[in-house]
Chain A
Amino acid sequence: MSMLEVKNLGISFGGLRAVDDFNLTIEKGELYGLIGPNGAGKTTVFNMLTGVYKPTDGKILLDGEDVTGKRTIELNKEGIARTFQNIRLFSDLSVLDNVKVALHNQKEYTYSTLTGILRLPRYYRLEKEMDARAMELLEVFGLDKEADYKASNLPYGKQRELEIARAMATNPKLLLLDEPAAGMNPNETQSLMNTIRFVRDKFDMTILLIEHDMKLVSGICERLTVLNFGQILASGDTAEVLKDPKVITAYLGE
């Protein structure tokens, strides 16, 4: 069974058909790319997958279960986590707390508000376990030394990685990355590529990413879908899609 199956997904904003007849199938453990020119509708697809927008038509199946029309927090509980094109960290919280807060819905770390206020033994035990789990994730992203920093004081590239760490803390089945390399220099992009590949391998994660950096896309994505004016232009194996004349004229050739 596929991890994600999207059938005939579409959305209209007033008269504007932002995404039309969008189909996508991603297998478990796959690293999948979604590319296309600005305004093509890529972020809108993410927003539908995460319940920010309700699709006007179509179906979304996650791990075989129909999750169409669910709310954002329910979809996150079902296992869809994301990052944002414009970084959205909890800027006044520490790096560590940015990850800890994302453990919110995991049963093994849950305690009541009253337990927290009264500082019952369970509070101390679970906070310690959360610290350990969050540090573990921060280490994967090389952020453990900055755990006490305020998130907004991190350099740009690290903020992007912290966003991925935070998404991973919700223990997702499917990770959506919206232009993770945007604004990064070549070195940061290279290290990000390694991290993404590492996350996929270590957690057997299914990843769908939007990206403009062709080096990153061709370097780590196994399959691609190209979106243009809200419609699929091409999809398939990365190397083949990037050779497609339609894709080259619409997007790569310029």
Chain B
Amino acid sequence: MKKMSKTARSNLITYGIVILAYVGCEIWMRFGNMSSLMKGLLVPLCVYAILAVSLNLTVGILGELSLGHAGFMCVGAFASAAFTKCMEQAIPVPTVRFIIAVLIGVVCAGICGILVGIPVLRLRGDYLAIVTLAFGEIIKNLVNAIYLGVDSNGFHLSMKSMLALNMEADGMVIINGAQGITGAPSDSNFTLGIIMLLITLFIVLNLINSRAGRAIMAIRDNRIAAESIGINITKYKIMAFSISAAMAGAAGVLYAHNLTTLTALPKNFGYNMSITILVFVVLGGIGSIRGSMISAVILTMLPEMLRSLDEYRMLIYAIVLIAAMILTWSPKAIELRERYSPLKLLRRKEKEVQ
């Protein structure tokens, strides 16, 4: 067998898990009796997995705390949904429209990441947490106050009301303040979600094992030493943070195109959401890409699966959180995991074969 590095193999296992999960779900959907609840969860699961993986780039790989990941998701969601609503007639092929929407969401969220990162990441303290927290809340409130329409004279923008847009009779409202964006076609689906998750993993995992990724992790481990070997701290911090933000934007695109009505609520784009994503990352193991993906999936499914238990639901959820915390972080559990990790077992088998 061809010799493969430990990381290359670990990455393959990560991709393998996603593909197996996809095939499993497809078979279940076609030949089994997947509940409509579960069907409705498939795209959101991809969304949360992408969010967790991308936040881990900031928190685990760069070592900076971000409390506004949902804000970047919000930017991606609204920018792309506005595009899709405008272009429904002009670009009739849903997949083509969706790919362009993803690019738009990624670029808009990425630019926001750069704009937040440039002033904040130059500073030496832990200012990012505060600024991203504020950014997330500002974006959510801003989106709720925007009225955007288009008619034969072009685009109209107002921060007051729909009437203030002063549109011709043929006009179409794109963003209707707190009512958000209604009636954009739902172009996303599970397959597209899985492809986006795989691309996210591909970017993050390949970045980590490259020249830039090593520089980013060196900054995380020891900023002063990284500087002493000639690494441009600000450049790599901004790079990691804006890539992370751009991928949150991609998750937002997927999220927005799975809904008929897109509104910005505290629940989906607020502070709570940012913390939920952070919980996925912490429980999955800070810096462990596969871990954050798996914990996002489990922690998203769990409350839904436990619906029938009603009042015990949140209790069980809390117990699982605590158990996961112990399993992820206690030294004994780490030792056990290392001893029985699938990688180790595989290698042991190989040795026996040789």
A residues at B contact (CB < 8 Å): 50, 52, 72-73, 76-77, 81-82, 84, 88-93, 97, 100-102, 104-105, 109-111, 113, 115-119, 123, 126, 148, 166-167, 169-170
What is the interface residue range for chain B against chain A? 20 to 34
- Are A91 and B222 also in contact (CB < 8 A) when A117-B206, A119-B206 are? yes
- Are A123 and B225 also in contact (CB < 8 A) when A93-B218, A101-B231 are? no
Could you give 22 example pairs across A and B, Cβ below 8 Å?
A73-B232, A76-B229, A76-B230, A81-B229, A88-B225, A90-B226, A91-B221, A91-B222, A92-B217, A100-B214, A101-B214, A101-B231, A104-B230, A109-B211, A113-B207, A113-B239, A116-B206, A116-B211, A117-B202, A118-B206, A126-B211, A170-B229
Provide the residues of chain B in CB contact with A126, threshold 8 Å.
211
Instruction: Say yes or no for B36: interface residue by CB 8 A criterion.
Output: no
Assembled-state Cα–Cα distance A7/B227 (Å): 25
Instruction: Say yes or no for B306: interface residue by CB 8 A criterion.
Output: no
- Chain A min CB distance to B68 (Å): 24
Closest to B212 in A: A113
Assembled-state Cα–Cα distance A100/B231 (Å): 12
B residues at A contact (CB < 8 Å): 6, 202-203, 206-207, 209-215, 217-218, 220-222, 224-232, 239, 287
B228 & A76 in contact (Cβ 8 Å cutoff): yes
One of A82, A90, A102, A104 near B222 (C-beta < 8 A): A90
Assembled-state Cα–Cα distance A91/B6 (Å): 19
- Are A117 and B232 also in contact (CB < 8 A) when A93-B217, A101-B215 are? no
Provide the residues of chain B in CB contact with A76, threshold 8 Å.
227-230
Provide the residues of chain A in CB contact with B225, threshold 8 Å.
84, 88-90, 166
Q: Which of A88, A109, A123, A167 has the most CB of B within 10 A?
A: A88
B211 & A111 in contact (Cβ 8 Å cutoff): yes
B231 & A104 in contact (Cβ 8 Å cutoff): yes
Assembled-state Cα–Cα distance A111/B212 (Å): 9
Provide the residues of chain B in CB contact with A115, threshold 8 Å.
210
Provide the residues of chain A in CB contact with B212, threshold 8 Å.
113, 116
- Chain B min CB distance to A50 (Å): 6
In the complex, the 9 A-B pairs of residues with the closest C-beta atoms, listed nearest first: A116-B210, A76-B230, A88-B225, A90-B221, A101-B214, A113-B212, A102-B229, A105-B230, A72-B227
- Chain B min CB distance to A170 (Å): 5
A50 & B215 in contact (Cβ 8 Å cutoff): no
Assembled-state Cα–Cα distance A109/B215 (Å): 14
Known: A50-B228, A104-B231. 9 other contacts (CB 8 A): A73-B227, A73-B231, A76-B230, A89-B222, A89-B225, A90-B225, A102-B229, A115-B210, A116-B207
- Chain B min CB distance to A161 (Å): 15
Provide the residues of chain B in CB contact with A116, threshold 8 Å.
206-207, 209-213
Q: Which of B202, B211, B222, B232 has the most CB of A within 10 A?
A: B211
B224 & A166 in contact (Cβ 8 Å cutoff): no
B229 & A101 in contact (Cβ 8 Å cutoff): yes
- Are A82 and B218 also in contact (CB < 8 A) when A104-B211, A116-B206 are? no
- Are A90 and B217 also in contact (CB < 8 A) when A84-B225, A117-B210 are? yes
One of A72, A93, A105 near B221 (C-beta < 8 A): A93
Q: Which of B210, B239, B287 has the most CB of A within 10 A?
A: B210
